[in-house]
Structure 1
Amino acid sequence: MRGYVPGVFDLFHIGHLNILRAAREQCDWLIAGVVTDDKAYRAKAKYPVIPLAERVAILEHITLVDEVVVEHQPSKLDVWREHPFDVIFKGDDWRGTAKGRQLETDFSTVGVEVAYFPYTMQTSSTLLRAALESAAS
């Protein structure tokens, strides 16, 4: 089974490692999709701290990941068409949200399962960014 973990993967931290580790246990081939800086900005109204090329390089050297793709397509279904997978993994902060329901609806049309893993509350790129900004001021 082929799995897909999309993300910004900015300021790589234990939450990223946790989702990659959990996803790896569920599939034979794991693809990590790294969103472009512009796509990250459109989703979060902030550019990543770590440039795209460096985020890709970090993931390429994590042995849990078999393949790294740059996600520049407008939708996750477009990514799936270019890099087919059987299951997409997301943090459970997406479960029950409008985005999560849309993801489930979209992927149900092509037989892809949406699997959720626990979100790491104590560490996130948002918290790390805030700590860096606080330390800089």
Structure 2
Amino acid sequence: MTDRPTTVVTFGTFDVFHVGHLRVIQRAASLGDRLIVGVSSDALNAKKKGRAPVFSQGERMEIVASLKPVSSVFLEESLEQKREYLLTHQADVLVMGDDWAGRFDDLGDICEIVYLPRTPAISTTALIEKIADLSG
């Protein structure tokens, strides 16, 4: 048994912050004593989603860092570095959305992997498209 606090790590873009983002952060935080959030860099977001984020990585990091359940944030620059990030931050639990289910199971040798269901009917992409439709 260790006296070290349980560290939960999660990752995301967190662009156009919405209630779905808040809920995943709250649920992730409930799984441990401290929550560390990797915020996807602008370049990684462009690679993953094929578009630049609405808010810069600095702005997104500032928003996420200001949330009560979040202990600290760091910049995620590569999906391939998940293992390195988890080891650096001494993760006990990795939390990802269930849209990534199975993708990071190989990291189960260093921490517990939890895939959380996404909040139904809420997505950043859908919000951006809705805003574009309203303004166009």
| Count of matched residue pairs | 130
Q: 1:76 aligns with which of 82, 85, 109?
A: 82
Percent identity reads 30
Residue 67 in structure 1 maps to residue 64 in structure 2 = no
C-alpha deviation, 1:136, in angstroms: 2.5
C-alpha deviation, 1:15, in angstroms: 0.6
Divergent runs of 4+, >6 A: none
Distance 2:109 2:116 in 1: 22
SS at 1:57's partner residue? helix
Counterpart in 2 of 1:116?
A: 115
Q: Residue deviations 1:81-123, cap 9 Å, x none? A: 322211111112222xxxxx23111x0232x111021211221
C-alpha deviation, 1:48, in angstroms: 0.7
Counterpart in 2 of 1:58?
A: 63
Q: Which amino acid aligns with 1:66?
A: S
- Alignment root-mean-square deviation, CA: 1.3
Instruction: Please report the TM-score for the alignment, with normalisation by the length of structure 2.
Output: 0.89
Residue 134 in structure 1 maps to residue 129 in structure 2 = no
Distance 1:20 1:12 in 2: 11
Deviates more, 1:112-121 or 1:26-35: 112-121
Counterpart in 2 of 1:103?
A: 104
Distance 2:122 2:132 in 1: 16
Q: Which amino acid aligns with 1:108?
A: G
**Unaligned runs of at least 5 residues, structure 1:** 96-100
